[in-house]
Amino acid sequence: MTIPIAYNLRNLAVRRTTTIMTVSGIALTVAVLLAALALINGLRTAFQSSGNPVNILLLRKGSNSELSSTMPREVFQDMLFKSGIARVPGSDRPLASLEIITTINLPRTGTPTGMPVILRGLLPVGIGLRSLRLQEGRWFQTGQREIVVGKFIAKRCREAHLGGRLRFGKRDWDVVGVMDGGESVVNSEIFGDLNQVSSSCNRPDLLNSILLRAVGPTTVPALVNSLNDDQRLNVLAQTEKAYYDR
């Protein structure tokens, strides 16, 4: 038994180049696997932390994501007074936000290449539909070219700090706030006024999605079915939680 072991140990020393390459290959494979598992775990944590079970997301029927969905403004007007939609406290206004999202490229700190991020234009009520808090500054004002950036973007983009200015869509945008969405995907998004963002994207009438809130958990199934069955709307309604889980 000692001869094979001694031979193998001596062989490792004699063929040190092959040994080093083999060990390095195994180490690299393990490192890539760990990086992939860490990425998957991070994405899973972010998506599971996103969404509210009483929020309902509306996409165009046949779409599988907000980016691939198109939503005319008329649909938003047609569904506003559906039974089961919660109202803004003290008023008759529905808790519903028409939204547009697109991707933009921002310069990244420490690297010559940029990073793609999600730009979301939304109504002010859309902020209240999400679990957010301001880390710095204030929220954007309606009708102004102002944006609020997620905390991860503020860390990674050298210009995305409070008081900074970003340029995209042939316009300059003032960074007036940094938002914290806990562990949700919102930390990697930029929020701005719906009409300003849609105008900058040259899409004033064709947007992406609608986010609304049901009166309560018991009304969610009926409201989802009512929205999906309405032939005028031609939408796919699902809970926000189900969307991110999927």
What is the tens place of the pLDDT at every residue in 109-135? 766 678 899 999 999 999 999 989 999
Report pTM: 0.79
**Angstrom distance (rounded) from CA 147 to CA 152:** 15
The confidence score (pLDDT) of residue 19 equals 66
Give me Rg for the CA atoms of the chain: 24
203-235 per-position pLDDT tens digit: 998 999 999 999 999 999 999 999 999 999 999
**Of the candidates 69, 149, 77, 150, which has an alpha carbon nearest to the alpha carbon of residue 102?**
69
The confidence score (pLDDT) of residue 236 equals 96
The confidence score (pLDDT) of residue 107 equals 82
CA angle 98, 104, 105 (to 5 degrees): 160
